[in-house]
Chains A and B, each alone.
Chain A
Amino acid sequence: MTRSAGNRFRTRKLSTKQSLAILRENQIDSVDDDAQRHIPQIETGVERQEEIEHHLQAAISAHQAAAVGSKESKKVFIPTPNTTELSAEQYAKLYPKKFQQPFSYIRSSATVEDCCGTSYCMSEEDDKYLAELNAAQAKANLPTITEDEFESLIELYENQIKEMQPYLTLDVNNIIGYDELAASFIADMNDNVRSVSRPIYDYWRGHKIVRTGKSIIPCLKFEQGNEKDEGDPYVCFRRREVRQVRKTRRTDAQSTDKLKKLRQDIETARGLVNDVRQREVMRKNSYKFDMQIFEQRRIVIDLKRKHGIKDSDEDLVNKPQPKRRQAEPAAPPTLRIPIRQDGKPPDADLRHLSTLRAEEEKRRLEKYNQLRKLRPLSKYPLLDVTHDTLGMHMPSATVTTPPPTKYCNVQTFYLPSPPNSAESLPSSPIEESPSENSPQVSIVQASPSKTSQDVPSFRRRVGRGGRILIDRRGRSTPTTPMDIDPVMADRMKYDHDDEDSEAQHHEIMVDPSSALQIKFRARLNTPPPDNHSITLRRQVMAGSPVLIAPGAGSPNAQMRLPNGHPPPGMTQHVIMTPNGVPGVAYPRPPLGPPGR
């Protein structure tokens, strides 16, 4: 007792990973049956109601008996209903021995429908009817039909009615008449069949009505979609419900994308097919032309014969077409670089950027010269610097620091104003500008040049990016009233809303040929102001309280001193306009009035 209890305690559950010794019965002496219980009982897999069935139990116990070594090894079978065999002749009649075994394994995908011919098969009743019909036909000296024709005709009716009246079973008396039913295929029938198709229709119709509209040959019952189907044991082979996928926005988007892609793919395919079509059309045309050529040559031959022309007849044969050969190397889409015949490097034919640029430059020059000839500039002592906008090659074009201004140093470029593309205007400064300053070069400043001109002129242009640029000419700088704080004044310099009030400002008359002006102009070539002044200016512009004591030796003070009056130019931003004409961009406020 203790032993078995101890055993039970130690017994481990049987594991599938555990190594088990394979022993013969004589190798073990005693076995503890208790331990067997630790092996899990596994169900037989037969339904429990059936497990208790008499014959199964008998068979199982017989088997068990054999397994434990009982001597009587009588085989116990579960009885099943008997089967009987047909006679060989009967069988051979139905199944002729005509099969030839192929050497290799059979591969086949033909379906039952493919293999069985006409699906309708004649019954005994049909036989009788057909015999009568044929007899009647023969008597009337009309053609008879074969069984196969009869079957295919019935099948035709069946298929046609299925198509035309799918719900015939609901009211079989509504079955459509012969003319309507046969209309679509009567033309395809051979004469024999047509002659009997009407009586056969009546025969078939009778059957159809007996069958209440169902197929004459009984067929399987499939689900009709109503709930009754569920429990009907004759309804079989239902479609499996497709699991409804939960709809989310993401899946929606995914399917949209899929559809788009599909659409694209199909479009591509369509394009390809279209291309193929075009190719074929062209091919066809080319054959047509070939034929025409051939015909024409025949005429030529005739003509030659007629006129007795004897030559090499080269015009009668196709010459090898060099074009095609050229196209051929391009055909393989490999990236191999072809070896050149002339021994140059493979990229010798490639054009370099530098050469391109040089060419471009040359073209430009030519055009420029051409244009120059057209322009009426030659009568003026002007150097056209249109294309040399940065003044790099211009000795007289200056990039300079501005003359000392009263308060701020603004880096200003004085650039020559180009000649007008129209005939020179009377107001153009070029006309009045004294030519003695420089015999050939006249630098026209965009900013004040003419003091004598009272009326300033403006020109409005639309620049790059739609900016509106105002070119200004002949405007003098208003003087700052002395009683206002100069810093404030400077800040308020452009804060005029009213153009008229500005126009009334006192203008400083400057004589460009005066010594002062000359001196000023001479200063244009001085180097740009140092950083300090710029910083200061920034501070001023930012409105920081920088105290500037007049005459305190600050750069500003110094700058003011030499002139004693404001510099001729306003602070302005020079902007290069697309056509190379320097323009002036005002700070925002004064943008108002359009030129002239």
Chain B
Amino acid sequence: MNRGIYILKRLGLAIPVMIFGVTMSFLILYLGPIDPVGSILGRQATPADIRQLRMALNYIDSAGNPIPLWEQYFRVVSDLFLLDFGDSWVIQRETPVTTLIINRMPATLWLGFWSVVIALGVGVPVGLYAGLRANTFRDYASSGFGIIWRAMPNFWLAVIISGLITAGGALSFYRTAIVETQVSGTPDALGNLFTNVEIFSGIPYLELLFIPVPNPGPMFVAFKWILPAALVLGSSSMGNEVRIGRTAVLESINSKYVETAKAKGVSPRRIIAKHVGRNAIIPLLPVVMGEFYLLIGGSVLVESVFGINGLGNLFFSAVLGPDIPLVMALVFIFIVIQILFNISQDLLYTYIDPRISLGERE
């Protein structure tokens, strides 16, 4: 199948899924027994204030008649799909939702990036190692590590690790190692991770272009700061990677083509790199992609334990608010990310393993 047509087709199929997800969230928030007007104004609200706010929130029209739910629904959904997310109601009154999200984004991206990298950097090698040394003590030790690591609740691990790092804990040396850093709260170094170097200064229009150059100092501080949280957030994926990496290696190492390569005298190193490793990546792919998705949910708990002001924390306070425009916008963004990941995952399959043709999956 043509790749372009395939992508279009997948995007077309994604639309009903998106509509369903948004509708479900809408129904939960608008039909459910929550009262944003009450929580915005508090108990001392006068009827006039309430009336005015209801009008501002599009619950009633200017004549005081309630706007039917389906009309509200179409307004909300069309605004979302036109990327007009409106203003926050509770968290920061009158601030555009987009501003709030953009302000909180860097912390979550930084956390998510490192949790994926660390989980991959530890989980995959350990899994491959266990598979190559199958049924030895070392295999059992590393598989056991994966199984336990996978069963540990993120929030509990976060509590234990952050507790051990605090002053007086067994791991308190971590704070002062190399550079003294905090370990909870949002890393303030996030603001100057990069210096923007203008390369075309003086040339009209082109001078707006710049190259972000990493600043090693703040980058290391921010990395060290976020490392415990990233380790926790990546924990369950790390366990999955160990487990699946191991079985994948076991499956490909016993296959005929590895035997053939051995018979031809290919060096063990080359066999592992070219024949076993590559094939072992295929079943790992959904786990790695799924990891991005788990991060979105997991960041709520990890961010709240480590006190990081990221999107997860924002969502949590928005739900408790309840800040309906903010919740709807975040849910919408999460759905879009999720769908894009699913599609890119299926595309990636065809690059890694040419035997899989487009449209075969699903």
A and B held together in a complex: no
**A interface list, Cβ under 8 A from B:** none
**B interface list, Cβ under 8 A from A:** none
